[in-house]
Structure 1
Amino acid sequence: MNHPQKSDAGEHTPHGPPLVLRHDVPASFVLFLISIPLSLGIAHATGAPLMAGIISAIIGGVVVGALSGAPLQISGPGTGLVVVVAGLVAQFGWAATAAITLAAGVLQIALGLTGISRLVLSLSPSVVHGMLAGIGISIAAGQLVVVLGGTAESTVPANLALLPARLAGSNVGSLAAGAVAIGALLLWPRIPRVSVVPAPLVAVAAATALAHALHLDVARVDLPDSHALVFPEMPRGSTGAVLSAVVAVALIASMESLLSAVATDRLHDGPRARLDKELVAQGTGNVLAGALGGLPISGGLARSSTNVAAGAKTRYSAILQGVWIAVAVLAFSSALELIPLPALAGVLFVVGLKLVSPARMRTLWKHREFLVYAATVLGVVLFGLLEGVAVGLAIALLRALYRLTHCSVRVEGNRVCVRGSLVFLGVGRLVRELRRLPLGQTVVLELHIDYLDHASYEAINDWREGYERLGGRVQVDEVHDTWYDRASQGEPGRHKTLPGPLPRWFAPWSHWQSSPEAVTLPAQRSSAESDPMIRGMHEFERRSAPLVRPFLHELAVRGQRPQQLFITCADSRVVPNLITTSGPGDLFCVRNIGNLVPTPAADDRSVGAAIEYAVGILNVSTIVVCGHSDCGAMKALVQGSAPRGSHLHSWLRNADPSLIRFHAPASSGCADLPVADRLAVVNVAQQLDNLLGYPSVREAIAAGTLTLKGMYFDISNARVYLVDPDRNGLDPVGSPA
């Protein structure tokens, strides 16, 4: 059996001969067929010897592939370096350019060891996907020209300018070979049970067979003779110019490789890239490439996406494609020269189009990130890879700055509600709204903010002083934090804070309704609003309702499905949802004096009906009985203070079994508690026994669908305990399993 092994990317990935033979070997052949013309084309475009492209392709596959921190990324002659390398060849000559490549590799290794490559992970997904789409469009535009029988230029605008002439006088043989390759690439995956053979390989083979059978007049792969390596020489020129060249090659090759690694990660579900290791691998490859007279190496998204599309699973596809290139150049150059270039162009054309994802566009549009995506695409298409990424990053940073500094201002009568971060960039809008308020009124400035800078504080304070000087009154109501109050006392906050839960969700009315900030405006106050409950309802409508409304709407649609029947005391200090951190729909509650469960033989039917409904209809999985400290019912039992003949006295007779149990020898494991609290613990244990008297409860427990739990709430210490019914004692809640 082939067991999973832990990959160098920190994930468990299955390795072994079956996986390599089934996925990586076929993918490596596809890469090999694509890498040869691509490497030759890049070498030709830079003015370097054609063999320099082959050398870099071999090193990029074998050496960088073996050391890579991004196993599915394919490295070779860098497409993003074409213009730079062409300039270096013209300025210093090829041998000196090789030396610059070697030095750039050393710098890349140093950068990789510092861990600086991790900064690439901070890139916005919209920028990365925009880069993918821009490169895809660039690839498709260039390869379409080749399919039509022309020679691709280095930029999209130049290739688009060539299309009218190529369409008018296209080479029939090139068009036929390219069309067959494109058609095979699109149709082959739709044929059942043939996916073991990768579509790109089928496309190239079909187009080659067609060109050979019909003797089509098409451009074919042209391999150079494998001789005359060019070794590096020291550049002649100013030290500054040479150092600038080294830094430029190192940074551009590094950025292209790291961006490609991040983008490639988004194309597959395999191990994630380790960017520091990848940068060291790229540097090692460039040291060797420079020493042997090769082009600068970088990770390429065109090759990497082809690798993923061809079904590669491990780094062996990269290594093997480097081996195939070396073997082919040495032994099979005549056979490879049968492959028509339009066939390879057709493969890359489809690969490029697939990088432009309509589904991704829709997602980014929903998240309001499409502007960044579109800017990156246009930047890559019109200016180049790094320039396009820079444009996208600039817009993404501006949008992030806007969002971080943006605040919403809503005016409702004489109440002004401000939410967000209040800094100098957004204070102008707030002041404009404040100045529109009628003079001589009582205004409440409600601040839901997580940051307040000095400029914003000064602006608010100046308006407040001016407004009150003209006879008005301003109340500042800070809901989440006290930024304004601290600034007023000369102790301003320094760091942005995350808003915590609203204190008014769990604080008593007396805590916040008596505070100056919560005073209702005189113009809005009515006799009904003097009722604390009415004012609490207003507070719910204004602040809590918008937050809880989505949950309640869902519950209204699908109905209630509580997990627990929660039986507790009617004491106003016991709030079930607070002490269990639960929300609407979680607890089916029954509250009564003393959290009692009368036996089925008792006169009371209310609790019994709730139990039967919860177990039989709602199918709750747990029944909880929760007692508490300082319970008035337990005190009445201990003291016998319930007036005879009263409803309270009649009800508390249901607790007689708890008294009997309490007075039994060794009845309580809570000897340190007051008498009434010890009785409260024993009472919980007794109610759990009473629950077993209900047939529906017994049947559900026997079926394994229901459990019983006892709880005890210490009010003064805000502590919750579990009740052990066997020893009538308390256990700490502890951590969940």
Structure 2
Amino acid sequence: MSACAPPHAQHPRPPHSPAPAPRRFPVAGADLSAAVAVFLIALPLSLGIALATGAPLQAGLVAAAVGGIVAGRLGGCPLQVSGPAAGLTVVTADLIHRYGWRTTCGITVLAGVAQLGLGCLRVARGALAVSPAVVHGMLAGIGITIAVAQLHIVLGGSPDSSVLANLRELPAQLARLDPAAVSMSALTLALLTAWPRLPGRTGRLLRRVPAPLVAVTGAAATAALAGLALPRVELPSWHSHALAGLPEGPVLGLAAAVLTTTLVCSVQSLLGAVAVDKLVAARPGPQPHVGRSDLDRELLGQGAANIVSGSLGGLPIAGVAVRSTANVKSGAVSRNSTMLHGVLVVVAALLMVPVLEEIPLASLAALVMAVGIQMVSLHHIRTVTRHREVPVYAATTLGVVALGVLQGVLLGVAVAVALALHRLAHTRITHEEKEGVHHVQVRGQLTFLAVPRLSRALHLVPQGAHAVVELDGSFMDHAAYESLQDWRSAHTARGGTADLAGRRGGIRTAERAPAAECRCRPWTPWRNHQSCFAEAPAAPAGQEAGRELARGISSFQRNTAPLVREELARLAREGQRPSQLFLTCADSRLVTSMITASGPGDLFVVRNVGNLVPPPGEEHGDDSVAAAIEYAVEVLGVRSITVCGHSGCGAMQALLAGGAGPGDTPLRRWLRHGLPSLARTAGDHRDRPRLAGRAPADAVELLCLTNVVQQLAHLRAHASVARALAKGELELHGMYFHVGEAQAYLLARTEGGTEGGTVFEDVAEGVGKGEGAGGRVWATTPGQV
């Protein structure tokens, strides 16, 4: 399949899923209200960014409309809003100054073509490998450049193309400031600052109107009522609007311009998509079924939007954080909100020209200046300080301000690489003796460059002494590992003891004893871990259970955590998006991750005694099971629910023995949810489930199998499940695990057989058979159990 194929082409609807009912209204109410909110923010910001770049003001409206409609329709992040971005202001202003407006449009088109190529090559994830300190430093440098330039317009003057020139001219501009422009700018900034802080219930209602719209509207109305003579927005006829021209200029300069535009547009859009995913995951209430962003598709959508915008004489386009945040917080549930906001911009550009031409340029400049100041984030500065990356951040920021965006980014990357090499080469190794124990501590990366100093420190440990080598870094290469192991072998051979503490990437180093190597797997029972803890003293019987738990945690930290840390860190950033709700028994022999070969983030697991699903409204029901089902379907948007039973289930044995009879213990009350399974077992033998190739071995196994089928029927009675099934958005599966055989079975229905009923097929055989081989693994759909 082509790398450029949209995601929906790779996941066709299952053949047995009913077609979703057509919507009477194509746009949900939440999308409509979100589109209006984003439009009200985008309109003044688009004009302000166009003003800051020196482009025709219509170019900002063109980019806002194209970003909403084209990028919104084709992009891989449905809730991200694209358009003219403050992060592109410096780049675009420099291009217009060097090459003129029509050539800048041509460069925008070429940058879009480059983005299409990168999207087809599926390299979007690679852009996220850029150090966050470089990205934040780039945005901070751009923000400073914007703020300094717009300050001249706020004071009633006009900016220069260079930051340094603007700073030099600032004293002279202060001496000849325009009181009218300053007053309108001050009013705009005051409204921007005060409006989000309005107190009380009335304030909450008023805050629904975006602050940028209030600030610009307030300044325009005040200027009109006071009769102030100020430069205002000028939108000439669209008939005279300049379209793209062929790029003219030196080839190397144009290539650098295309590269810079592509880099800034792509990185800002991809990072914005990741940020939108986090906002959606953190949003309370049911989540839209949009899934995580497809970054390669997002790059394709941004490329197509830049081609269209440049061709129509619009500004370069990227994902915009302010508008995307407003879109998510306004409750948008699909890409319709983004596209509709673009349509509203088109309507405004055609019908609201007289209104837009009342806006003072000083007000727009103050609005953009505030955006530039916000790009210098104190949160980002604290983050890079905590991670000791201030040199990278500072070099990138100063480079962008003094040299330009591309040069500043390259300078920041160079400093980041130099800092990483410095940390790799400069490892601190210390030796000290405490109470007869020699401690050798290694701080930093342990590579072949540090082997001579490591050897010197290790040879300070006397023969026969007890030594502890503490590794406090993140990596150890093979040369350092061999040197450390050779020393430990020689030291123990001479009567000494040595413990290595810590496990680092590259080579594992945390084994306590050289004589025995721990080969335990993550699913190895605790009783088989004894070889890993041979040196631990025996504990009293009452304390042994606690010791086993502590040992298990210690084994995880040493053996498993280094292998899953990166994946868990990704899930912590992006939030959970499991595809399956797995409802199974609390039996200790049933390890869900082992029998499904799943990992972190795959299964949303609910366990209870007997894998029971109380029907909705059942007396003495358990809201925790119903809540988990509702959360999985409505919030997490799982596509499949599996009910998994197992052989030798104690709950089913208790049912057969009358354990759900009269009485008021919690266990008896719970087991009564299994009585429908018991009644179904006593029904028509032709409807009894069986394992592929054989009948149930005894009454307990028959009840265990029947219970899975019955709980699927209970599951379908829940409202959230019924709705998802009716829309074809959910599948139900039955599963059975035979503990003694270590064999998993999926619920299947025979085709063309004579016995009828339901069959639990061997998973391996069922997957390999295919439709024409007499059996198939299946999922229940409406009307089937």
TM-score, normalised to structure 1's length? 0.57
Query: 1:82 corresponds to which residue?
Result: 92
Distance in 2 separating the partners of 1:232 and 1:404: 49
Q: 2:270–2:299: 8 Å Cα contact kept in structure 1?
A: no
- Helix, strand or coil at the partner of 1:222: coil
1:424 equivalent among 414, 423, 448: 448
1:262 equivalent among 239, 250, 270: 270
Deviation at 1:176, TM superposition (A): 1.5
Q: 1:60–1:322: 8 Å Cα contact kept in structure 2?
A: no
Aligned residue runs from structure 1 range 292-371, under 5 A: 292=312, 294=313, 297-299=316-318, 301=320, 304=323, 313=332, 314-316=337-339, 318-320=341-343, 322-324=345-347, 326-327=349-350, 333-358=353-378
Deviation at 1:262, TM superposition (A): 3.4
Letter of the structure 2 residue corresponding to residue 298 of structure 1: I
Aligned residue runs from structure 1 range 590-601, under 5 A: none
Query: 2:565 corresponds to which residue?
Result: none
Query: 2:36 corresponds to which residue?
Result: 25
1:208 equivalent among 216, 220, 224: 220
Distance in 2 separating the partners of 1:105 and 1:211: 40
1:73 equivalent among 72, 81, 84: 81
In structure 2, do the counterparts of structure 1 residues 8 and 120 end up closer, same or farther at CA, with 3 Å as the change threshold?
A: farther
Q: 1:480–1:499: 8 Å Cα contact kept in structure 2?
A: no
Aligned residue runs from structure 1 range 394-543, under 5 A: 413-414=437-438, 416=440, 422-438=446-462, 441=465, 452-457=476-481, 459-460=483-484
In structure 2, do the counterparts of structure 1 residues 348 and 725 end up closer, same or farther at CA, with 3 Å as the change threshold?
A: same
Q: Percent identity at matched positions?
A: 32
Deviation at 1:208, TM superposition (A): 0.8
Letter of the structure 1 residue corresponding to residue 36 of structure 2: V
Distance in 1 separating the partners of 2:364 and 2:554: 56
Deviation at 1:466, TM superposition (A): 9.2
Cα deviation digits, residues 374-394 of structure 1 (max 9, x gap):
665555555544455545555
Deviation at 1:211, TM superposition (A): 0.9
1:120 equivalent among 100, 114, 127: 127
Q: 2:133–2:392: 8 Å Cα contact kept in structure 1?
A: yes
State the number of aligned residues.
Answer: 550
Q: 2:63–2:317: 8 Å Cα contact kept in structure 1?
A: no
Q: 1:257–1:299: 8 Å Cα contact kept in structure 2?
A: yes
Q: 1:23–1:311: 8 Å Cα contact kept in structure 2?
A: yes
Q: Does 1:251 align with 2:249?
A: no
Query: 1:699 corresponds to which residue?
Result: 665
Distance in 2 separating the partners of 1:249 and 1:323: 29
In structure 2, do the counterparts of structure 1 residues 467 and 349 end up closer, same or farther at CA, with 3 Å as the change threshold?
A: same
Deviation at 1:217, TM superposition (A): 3.7
Query: 1:493 corresponds to which residue?
Result: none
Q: 2:34–2:326: 8 Å Cα contact kept in structure 1?
A: no
Q: 1:74–1:318: 8 Å Cα contact kept in structure 2?
A: no
Uncovered stretches (5+) of structure 1, i.e. residues with no partner: 1-5, 486-496, 519-528, 551-576, 582-620, 622-668, 671-680, 709-722
Distance in 1 separating the partners of 2:159 and 2:745: 63
Cα deviation digits, residues 573-597 of structure 1 (max 9, x gap):
xxxx99899xxxxxxxxxxxxxxxx
The structure with more radius of gyration: 1
Deviation at 1:323, TM superposition (A): 0.7
Cα deviation digits, residues 652-710 of structure 1 (max 9, x gap):
xxxxxxxxxxxxxxxxx99xxxxxxxxxx99xx99x999999x9x963434549999xx
Distance in 2 separating the partners of 1:9 and 1:728: 39
Q: 1:253–1:296: 8 Å Cα contact kept in structure 2?
A: no
Moved more, 341-350 or 18-27: 18-27
Deviation at 1:197, TM superposition (A): 2.4
Q: 1:9–1:69: 8 Å Cα contact kept in structure 2?
A: no
Aligned residue runs from structure 1 range 168-247, under 5 A: 168-189=175-196, 190=198, 191-228=203-240, 241-242=250-251, 244-245=252-253, 247=255
In structure 2, do the counterparts of structure 1 residues 42 and 58 end up closer, same or farther at CA, with 3 Å as the change threshold?
A: farther
Deviation at 1:210, TM superposition (A): 1.0
In structure 2, do the counterparts of structure 1 residues 192 and 120 end up closer, same or farther at CA, with 3 Å as the change threshold?
A: same
Distance in 2 separating the partners of 1:394 and 1:345: 34
Letter of the structure 1 residue corresponding to residue 222 of structure 2: L
2:304 equivalent among 278, 284, 287: 284
Deviation at 1:169, TM superposition (A): 4.3
Letter of the structure 2 residue corresponding to residue 316 of structure 1: M
RMSD: 6.0
Letter of the structure 1 residue corresponding to residue 454 of structure 2: L
Deviation at 1:339, TM superposition (A): 1.0
In structure 2, do the counterparts of structure 1 residues 83 and 448 end up closer, same or farther at CA, with 3 Å as the change threshold?
A: closer
Q: 1:24–1:312: 8 Å Cα contact kept in structure 2?
A: no
Distance in 2 separating the partners of 1:498 and 1:236: 66
Q: 1:256–1:298: 8 Å Cα contact kept in structure 2?
A: no
- Helix, strand or coil at the partner of 2:359: coil
- Helix, strand or coil at the partner of 1:257: helix
Deviation at 1:728, TM superposition (A): 14
TM-score, normalised to structure 2's length? 0.54
In structure 2, do the counterparts of structure 1 residues 19 and 703 end up closer, same or farther at CA, with 3 Å as the change threshold?
A: closer
Deviation at 1:327, TM superposition (A): 1.0
In structure 2, do the counterparts of structure 1 residues 194 and 115 end up closer, same or farther at CA, with 3 Å as the change threshold?
A: same
Deviation at 1:214, TM superposition (A): 1.5
Q: 2:233–2:358: 8 Å Cα contact kept in structure 1?
A: yes
Distance in 1 separating the partners of 2:9 and 2:323: 18
Q: 2:470–2:502: 8 Å Cα contact kept in structure 1?
A: yes
Letter of the structure 2 residue corresponding to residue 179 of structure 1: A
Aligned residue runs from structure 1 range 596-611, under 5 A: none
In structure 2, do the counterparts of structure 1 residues 302 and 701 end up closer, same or farther at CA, with 3 Å as the change threshold?
A: closer
Distance in 2 separating the partners of 1:728 and 1:36: 70
Cα deviation digits, residues 531-585 of structure 1 (max 9, x gap):
8779x99xx9xx969969x9xxxxxxxxxxxxxxxxxxxxxxxxxx99899xxxx
Distance in 1 separating the partners of 2:255 and 2:138: 23
Cα deviation digits, residues 307-360 of structure 1 (max 9, x gap):
6599594213551354146415xxx54543321112222333333444455456
In structure 2, do the counterparts of structure 1 residues 503 and 282 end up closer, same or farther at CA, with 3 Å as the change threshold?
A: closer
Deviation at 1:177, TM superposition (A): 0.9
Deviation at 1:73, TM superposition (A): 2.9
Deviation at 1:503, TM superposition (A): 10
Q: 2:105–2:244: 8 Å Cα contact kept in structure 1?
A: yes
Letter of the structure 2 residue corresponding to residue 82 of structure 1: T
- Helix, strand or coil at the partner of 2:205: coil
In structure 2, do the counterparts of structure 1 residues 304 and 438 end up closer, same or farther at CA, with 3 Å as the change threshold?
A: same
Q: 2:660–2:671: 8 Å Cα contact kept in structure 1?
A: no
Q: 2:134–2:412: 8 Å Cα contact kept in structure 1?
A: yes
Letter of the structure 2 residue corresponding to residue 732 of structure 1: V
Distance in 2 separating the partners of 1:195 and 1:277: 35
- Helix, strand or coil at the partner of 1:193: helix
